[in-house]
């Protein structure tokens, strides 16, 4: 597959509405040997906010989305994921459901967050970001996959800024009231503490 690359999305990249329309293929997928976690992402986004990253964890599998695209998109993708390092992964680490690609590029990547600042302190979740992530998982992996996302992500036991009405996340995807209530119930059960944003 000359000229093509692929990357595994495990957060907002799972939501098709955050992606360009020029990709070559989207495949709900699973990645073995990695685990998701929440960590600080630095101070150029709302201060004290946690975003998703991954770390190697033998014996663990996470769900997400494999995006196949032209190699020419890598500079723009690296800019979008500027707080992450692009790490190469093997074809063998990927699994698929009923819809699978007929072939895969040689170059397949996952983005791993930079180590958090030493003085990051306690970080909070951002509701507008979580709405986008959870909506993507629900669409691609169903309710069981959504619950699995929460179960296989470390660090939900923290406060969340409730910014749904005025999203702070730049690629926020609106959701309806029923979906919002469903997500909020799952997050409360996971230990998330709801916090109103400061004026």
Confidence at 159, pLDDT banded by 50, 70, 90: very high
Can you tell me the distance from the alpha carbon of 147 to that of 190, in angstroms, rounded to the nearest whole number?
10
Q: Where are the beta strands (DSSP E) in 10-165?
A: 25-40, 50-70, 84-88, 94-96, 108-113, 125-126, 153-154, 159-161
Confidence at 42, pLDDT banded by 50, 70, 90: low
Can you tell me the distance from the alpha carbon of 125 to that of 99, in angstroms, rounded to the nearest whole number?
32
pLDDT score for 22: 74
Query: What average pLDDT does the segment 189-199 reach?
Result: 84
Indicate whether 44 pLDDT > 60. Answer: no
pLDDT score for 190: 96
SS3 47: coil
Average of per-residue pLDDT values in the chain: 90
Query: What average pLDDT does the segment 62-74 reach?
Result: 94
Handedness of CA 40, 82, 14, 107 (dihedral sign): negative
pLDDT score for 43: 56
CATH architecture of the domain 4-195 equals Roll (3.10)
pTM above the 0.85 mark? yes
3-class SS shares of the chain: helix, strand, coil, % to 5? 30, 35, 35
pLDDT score for 119: 61
């Amino acid at each position: 597959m000359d000229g093509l690359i692929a990357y595994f999305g495990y957060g907002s990249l799972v939501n098709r509405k955050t992606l360009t329309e020029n990709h070559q293929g989207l495949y709900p997928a699973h990645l073995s040997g990695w685990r998701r976690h929440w960590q600080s992402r630095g101070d150029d986004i709302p201060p004290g906010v946690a975003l998703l990253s991954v770390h190697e964890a033998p014996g663990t599998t996470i769900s997400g989305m494999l995006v196949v695209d032209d190699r020419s998109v890598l500079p723009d993708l690296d800019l979008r994921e500027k707080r992450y390092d692009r790490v190469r992964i093997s074809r063998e680490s990927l699994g698929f459901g009923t819809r699978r690609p007929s072939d895969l590029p040689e170059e397949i990547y996952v983005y791993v967050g930079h180590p958090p600042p030493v003085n990051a302190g306690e970080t909070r979740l951002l509701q507008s970001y979580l709405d986008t992530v959870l909506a993507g998982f629900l669409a691609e992996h169903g309710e069981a996959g959504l619950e699995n996302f929460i179960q296989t992500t470390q660090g939900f036991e923290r406060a969340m800024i409730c910014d749904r009405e005025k999203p702070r996340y730049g690629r926020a995807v609106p959701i309806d009231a029923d979906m919002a209530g469903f997500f909020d119930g799952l997050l409360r059960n996971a230990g998330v503490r709801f916090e109103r944003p400061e004026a």
